Amino acid sequence: MLTTADFLKIAQWAGITTLVFAALTALGFILKWGIRFRLVGATGFLGVVTGGLFTLSLVPLTRTVTPGAIHFSRVYDTGATIAVISVPPDITPSQLEATLRQAASNLYSYGRLGQTKEDKLTIRARTIIHPAPGISKPLYIAQVQRSLIERNDQQMKIEIFPDKIAQLPKPSV
């Protein structure tokens, strides 16, 4: 996976290429080349690509890997203070806690619109159970609350609901 330093180096080369194309475009207008307007388009496109690559060099793209966490899917996110992740129904409480820690880290963003009284991001974990054939029921089994202000929140509040965990199907041996 590319790092921010890699993106910065690529952005520098793209910037140099953009400047070369800008010089060619100016030369094309001075010498009245037939492709001068195509060069304007290519230069503009390269400028946009360079800006995007430079932006990627500013934002870290790494994700936290928490030992014991399992794969989860984000199924709902307001972009503000509430998100919901989906986990498999055979998850254990220790896996659930690790997965919630990983989700809390991965879903943190400075851009969340969390201007509420508490400034907390709440991530709820849910799974789907089948109480009867042909019937599916979402079951919220845990949640984590973390700060929207502090990147490394050491005071995350993880709640696992034992009554909901008891409703999960038992693994067959």
The tens digit of pLDDT for each residue in 131-172 reads: 888 899 999 999 999 888 777 778 889 999 988 888 888 766
Taking the model in full, what pTM does it have? 0.64
For residues 7-29, give the mean pLDDT: 96
Residue 116 pLDDT more than 60? Answer: no
Tokens 């207008």, located at residue: 29
pLDDT band at residue 53 under the 50/70/90 scheme? very high
Residue 1 pLDDT more than 90? Answer: no
CB burial string 143-154: b at 16+ within 10 A, e below = bbbbbbeeeebe
